Structure 1
């Protein structure tokens, strides 16, 4: 194979990997706008709707570490293709699902495929590219994540409105078939040359239990209560009648599982046995400090995408498609960042680009908070969302490069799995905290609104509960009734205020991430080992 052919193959491989990542990231956001149609078509309960969205996230996070290590041992291209096949299989099941339980089961299958794809995509890029080209590859990878996360609601809204919610899943099928055909031609195979026999089954089991319990607790804390149960618990049909919420139980299991996992991995590593996670990776300063920054930044990075669609649809009356259009500047900024990142990294180094990206994210999110109001026009958020998208594209790509800069290629699978897990847990914690800020602020401001004071205590509580439980979706119904129209105006104002404080909280998380980036030293600015 000539050098020119090899170069062409590598860049085609980047396209294949980016499309694979785009498929799983879009699927995580596209479903949000399709859920109302799914509820109506399948006669799903609120609990069903919740698990249609969250089962994918829980399984994805729980299996990232296992998938990263499996990629090292079995071959990264092989696992990438297997992940695409599993994801497509799950998408076929979702598109044809006749009942909510069937749809939830197929979402679990999608989560397994997504967990196989995400860390494998990173390790493939880390093994394929070096030097300046690696920085370009990571920039494209990071911008793909930020851009497609914003495009998801637009695509989902259009497909749901013009065709059917089933096409929100069906669109993955032709793309997956294309990836399966292109992967053998565009991607080289890489695997860990370590010949030690055996598998760390105990470590894999502990990691799955630990991560699944932790993500479950972070997602469900607001729904079921952080300590005392505040709602009926319905998880996969299992009854929970105790007064204690399952959330602290899940957190306790996660804490115990983490301690056992670390002890097990340390002992197996010292004995020369195969391990799921080589703890010596954390002796690499760029890996250790980069993961710390990635975790903190993830707390605030995508939290705004949780609050903005609710605000645009319920406070402004936008359709799902119009909401996607309003979020397009975020996607545009993220894709634009892939071109800027390469030149900036070459001139200033990756750590400068990470810090610049975080600063732009802070400016964009704080800007949204400053303009959030019931009468805010869509164009008032264009510049701030563009800045936010630029920041996401710059910071996501370059922090990934910093984390993997000094990791040996043979360990890049488990390193990528660790980095993906860190970001996933940070995002879950951010959504948990920001969701609590959003809904508690919404309830607090609505409860003290002028229109609510004219109601009796019981009536006021019912209105507040309806708006809070529906995440603002009850506002249009209030506005349609002349008797409750003033309450709808109060609810729009309360939701806008809650969005403002959620944005400021997310900006605060990012400020902490910026301060944490001080731990990244100039010796970690190489971007390439």
Structure 2
């Protein structure tokens, strides 16, 4: 099938985007809904709450260490083939989760599911880059952000509804028809040209050690400082070796060649700060709203949904604007609104009714939506088309890494802050949002133009 130099023609573009958005919805739904199932999993498999969180940790670590190797493999075997393989492995892992009879079996199944998820996540950015023409790339990125925003709201609600009607196992079974539909839709995806370069197995192993031990070390900083420092030390050594090796390669597994492109380097730095800000806030807000403001769980659910509604509603507008205006200005506004919403939140009187918190929550969400689409567009548009797979993998890795850093910062804030831990964690989130603003101010005044404009 003939491919096109600047995006797919209509109506094939619509079919390709439908397949991509279904896969994105699948992964986003799983990450949002699995958290809801943790209490039932702990009861059914007779494990402690402290142990059951490894259902999420095992999945997150697997996704993080798998994204960059998956994007490198995809550039060699083809995006379509990787999308089909990822969908199949994700489905097998989900079914294994559903039929797990022990906690250890469930953890192994979640690792398998995480491998499939990493394969899919490594492709989303690169596929958008090849589905849409450059002049409409912001639209494609905004639709992806819209799906993530909507599923962030609906995922936990759908998961809770399924558990209410049956059991936690069905939250994994329901992925099967979506995965089957993805397999039938593969032909709609663009068949991106492949590279003939050999796969770098040593860099793959170093990448897994670097990112895997980094996340585990961050998670253990509060609970076991000695082991945490050991893991972080090994991660730093492996990372030093990995980056030295990548610096001598033309198209390395860790895309240092892309990070040398200044607009992409700015986008990655700002994205790390932004996702760290979001995750630190998401960890802290339930504790702040429940324990310090005495809101009910239902009221907190409404407020967090308001944040996600702000993200989803702003994504299409930001997509339209990102095709017309400079990235730095839009990102300064977005990160600034996020920080302003969080400052507004902590300055509200402790006896404020829950509906008074809707405005700062929506404002923060609008800021996130206004930031993500232009910044992600810059990351994808700044890369050569032949490296679109690596750019997509870099985008996904940056997101997961930023979220992991944000979670660790929140844990440290809770440990150091005592009873005021939630406020300290939200303050950390504000600082990260401010850092994203500063990075984009530097980007705006840098003489190198944004490559996508």
Within 5 Å, give how 1:296-307 maps onto structure 2. Answer: 296-307=273-284
Post-superposition shift, 1:387? 1.6
Within 5 Å, give how 1:424-439 maps onto structure 2. Answer: 424-439=400-415
Within 5 Å, give how 1:498-509 maps onto structure 2. Answer: 498-509=421-432
Q: Distance in 1 between matches of 2:169 and 2:208?
A: 30
Post-superposition shift, 1:417? 1.4
1:173/1:305 Cα in 2 relative to 1: closer, same or farther (>3 Å)? farther
1:278/1:327 Cα in 2 relative to 1: closer, same or farther (>3 Å)? closer
Indicate yes or no: 2:65 matched with 1:89: no
What is residue 376 of structure 2 aligned with on the other side?
400
What is residue 199 of structure 2 aligned with on the other side?
199
1:372/1:210 Cα in 2 relative to 1: closer, same or farther (>3 Å)? farther
Checking the alignment, whether the CA contact within 8 Å between 1:34 and 1:160 is kept in structure 2 is yes
1:120/1:334 Cα in 2 relative to 1: closer, same or farther (>3 Å)? same
Within 5 Å, give how 1:309-348 maps onto structure 2. Answer: 309-311=286-288, 316=294, 318-319=296-297, 323-348=300-325
Indicate yes or no: 2:433 matched with 1:510: yes
Q: Relative to structure 2, which stretch is displaced further, 163-172 or 401-410?
A: 163-172
What is residue 452 of structure 2 aligned with on the other side?
527
Bigger Rg, which one: 1
Correspondent of 1:360 among 334, 337, 350: 337
TM-score (norm 1): 0.78
Checking the alignment, whether the CA contact within 8 Å between 1:199 and 1:275 is kept in structure 2 is no
Post-superposition shift, 1:114? 1.2
Q: Distance in 2 between matches of 1:41 and 1:64?
A: 32
1:298/1:524 Cα in 2 relative to 1: closer, same or farther (>3 Å)? farther
Q: Relative to structure 2, which stretch is displaced further, 15-24 or 428-437?
A: 15-24
Correspondent of 2:29 among 26, 33, 55: 26
Post-superposition shift, 1:297? 1.7
What is residue 210 of structure 2 aligned with on the other side?
210
Post-superposition shift, 1:376? 4.7
List runs of 5+ in structure 1 lacking aligned partners.
227-244, 446-496
Q: Distance in 2 between matches of 1:308 and 1:154?
A: 18
List runs of 5+ in structure 2 lacking aligned partners.
none
Indicate yes or no: 2:144 matched with 1:144: no
Checking the alignment, whether the CA contact within 8 Å between 2:337 and 2:366 is kept in structure 1 is yes
Post-superposition shift, 1:351? 2.5
Within 5 Å, give how 1:17-166 maps onto structure 2. Answer: 17-166=20-169
Correspondent of 1:417 among 368, 386, 393: 393
Checking the alignment, whether the CA contact within 8 Å between 1:147 and 1:330 is kept in structure 2 is no
Post-superposition shift, 1:62? 0.8
Post-superposition shift, 1:212? 0.6
SS in 2 for 1:275: coil
Q: Distance in 2 between matches of 1:157 and 1:325?
A: 15
Q: Distance in 1 between matches of 2:80 and 2:364?
A: 33
Correspondent of 2:271 among 269, 288, 294: 294
Indicate yes or no: 2:235 matched with 1:223: no
CA RMSD of aligned residues (A): 2.5
Indicate yes or no: 2:365 matched with 1:389: yes
Checking the alignment, whether the CA contact within 8 Å between 1:210 and 1:253 is kept in structure 2 is yes
What is residue 283 of structure 1 aligned with on the other side?
260
Checking the alignment, whether the CA contact within 8 Å between 1:152 and 1:324 is kept in structure 2 is no
SS in 1 for 2:222: helix
1:152/1:324 Cα in 2 relative to 1: closer, same or farther (>3 Å)? farther
TM-score (norm 2): 0.91
Q: Distance in 2 between matches of 1:218 and 1:23?
A: 27
Checking the alignment, whether the CA contact within 8 Å between 1:298 and 1:427 is kept in structure 2 is yes
Post-superposition shift, 1:264? 1.9
SS in 2 for 1:7: coil
Post-superposition shift, 1:353? 1.9
Q: Distance in 2 between matches of 1:27 and 1:523?
A: 40
Q: Relative to structure 2, which stretch is displaced further, 411-420 or 133-142?
A: 411-420
Checking the alignment, whether the CA contact within 8 Å between 2:8 and 2:133 is kept in structure 1 is no
Indicate yes or no: 2:231 matched with 1:250: yes
What is residue 189 of structure 1 aligned with on the other side?
191
Checking the alignment, whether the CA contact within 8 Å between 1:66 and 1:204 is kept in structure 2 is yes
SS in 1 for 2:452: coil
